[in-house]
Structure 1
Amino acid sequence: MYNFSVRYHDGRLSIAHDATLTLMPDHWLIHYRDPSGELTSVRWTLPGIVTDENFSHLFIFRFGEFPQQTIECKDGNLPESLKKRYPERPFFKRRVTDIFKLNNTTIAGVAFTVLMLIGLGYWFGLPWLAGAVAARFPTSAEIKMGDTMYENMIRAYEVDDQLTAKLNDFTKAIDFKTNYPIRVTVVTENDANAFALPGGNIVVFEGILRKMKTKEELAALLAHEVSHVHYRHSLRNIFRSLGGYLFLSLLLNDINGIVTILADNSNALANLTYSRELETEADTKGMDVLQSNGIRLQGFVDLFALLQSEHGDVGSLKLLSTHPLTEERLRAAEMIVRGQKGVVANRELEKYWQVIAAAEHK
């Protein structure tokens, strides 16, 4: 008997499909009907199949890279059929249920150790895991997630469509050295504020535009925010803040669940701040962007001075973190400005800036 009824997860959607597993000589075939009713087949090669050990009589197998495909089978005949079909390949090792054959003291010790390891992993390993997952998170999923977050958040603001169009023209005149699709939105808020979302959406408050005096200040702000997008700083911060949810979603191999959780918490996540390390990295990348475009780095000095005058010693752009202090970043920028070379006139950028400045000072 080499045909079994299973439940199949494709790793992309959180739903499961009733399917038939056929054990072929050198691979497994999984047949199921997709939501449209079309019969679909999936082929698993034997070397890529991994067995999940568990306490129940539910047999679970995974295949492929993250997010992995999964099948679940309750048929007790499956292990014997696998042994007959593939005698050279052991799919099952010693069952974890053998632990119950130990004495009570040993069981208690094992249980305590497991709980300690889980606790240590949660509190100390999860931040590292969040960063690692963010680095491997599919770019397409990140952009989709960021767009969903943007759609949820932007409802709370009044968008200035005309100024948004002008600012996007300004943005396109700069090569930010990133493959992300950068889209800027201006909202009619008085605060000197801006923030970036995963995948390329940047929201700029009209209040900060109104206080800027040069195109270099605006270029510095955008370069800094784009750097947060480019290095996935927002994504890493969000994963860390939702560590428990992320942990559960990873256990369930549910990438769509991660996207949904993040989208549902969009407004709260907009208030996250960056670490000193990530802010410094964004400053450095942003200055490199301005330097490569021949734009005066004085824009960063003027931007930090503006923030300092608005918020005191601590910069408080929501996603330009409270760390490090604006004073430190101001001094660092001033040192780099002294050695800048290769500044060029950018008439296109100046033209767009004059349009934005004129609109802001009507």
Structure 2
Amino acid sequence: EESGSDSSQKQQSSQKSDSKGGSKGEGESENHEYISDAKKVMIEPIEAAQLDINHVVFLDPGKISITCPKDIGEHRSFIYDLETRQVVKLPDNTTVLKKLDNDDLFVMTKENTEYAILDGSSYTVKKAIMRPANVDNSLDISPDGKSIAYVTDEGLFVSDLDFQNPTRIVAAKREGKVFDMELPRFPKWFDANRIGYKVVGFKGVLYCGVVTRDGTVSKTYMEAQDATLYPLVNGDYLFRNDSGKGIGIIDANTGQKKFITESLLDKEGFAFDKNGKWVSYYMTNKEVTEENKWTGRFEVKGISSESKIMEFETEKPNAKPVENAVASPDGKFLLFTDMDMTGRRVLYKLEINAEQSQQSQKK
């Protein structure tokens, strides 16, 4: 559904032409094939080794961690400063999951079983963490690096880093038939005190919840069925339907939801500004099949204003959506990965001005 103003704005392609022909900044090279304001980020060690990029995490507004597969079961990881373009190599087979409040890094060292805390200066191991066999692999560490939120068949727990001294903060409901079971899963620390989680039943995600780290205050959001919650700075939650049925806002107090868009393509291209200024996603066709589900239209839309900020489209049938989309902490730009002209998965940067009028280009 496009208004007349949207249609007229789609004709404004001169801005895109200017950016396409503009000079390339140091550390950046060619523009993305159809998201034409996005520029490839050149990272020398990765370029020299011709590595693919498959995991990106922001550590600061101008600093990221990057994971690159090398051989079967092996990968290389780096810290990259987007401003100075300096690169620091991390220990092999290290995947950064998050930065802690004291600048240490929480990393995975073996797929879903072994973790560690790396010193934020030397990047050496300060604490090794082994996941017990009865603990689900969807665990998360607190921002202060002192507690683990994890789940077992008995519920959601918070413990120390050795999985000792656990406190169950959400119990699993296992009474009755298997169809009636409700199991908390996928804990995520929203801040120093709140933990978000999903409740999974026989038919999928039944609803989402948020609980304090001591379990004394808990709230469930029944409107977040088949969805994932993401906290915004203003206290409300952005939700993304896991089955590709839309993005919207859930009021933290009332639990009511309001759609920003009711049609998006799974997780590809999804990212958001935690300050609530914008969200990015791909649109789906109304009649979705595996053959035609992608429209080739990538949008950046205001969360509060619900107005389009940017829109890009390609009609090439073999084009694929971008991956690993992640917003900078200050919301000023978006990073994502995609294949370059050589077929290697590389990093692109898209500057976003949430105050600007919609820009669009069709290719």
Greater fraction of residues in strand = 2
The reply to whether TM is greater than 0.5 is no
Greater fraction of residues in helix = 1
The TM-score normalised by the length of structure 2 is: 0.19
Could you say which structure has the greater relative contact order, defined with CA pairs below 8 angstroms and 6 or more residues apart?
A: 1
> Higher Cα Rg: structure 1 or 2?
1
The TM-score normalised by the length of structure 1 is: 0.19
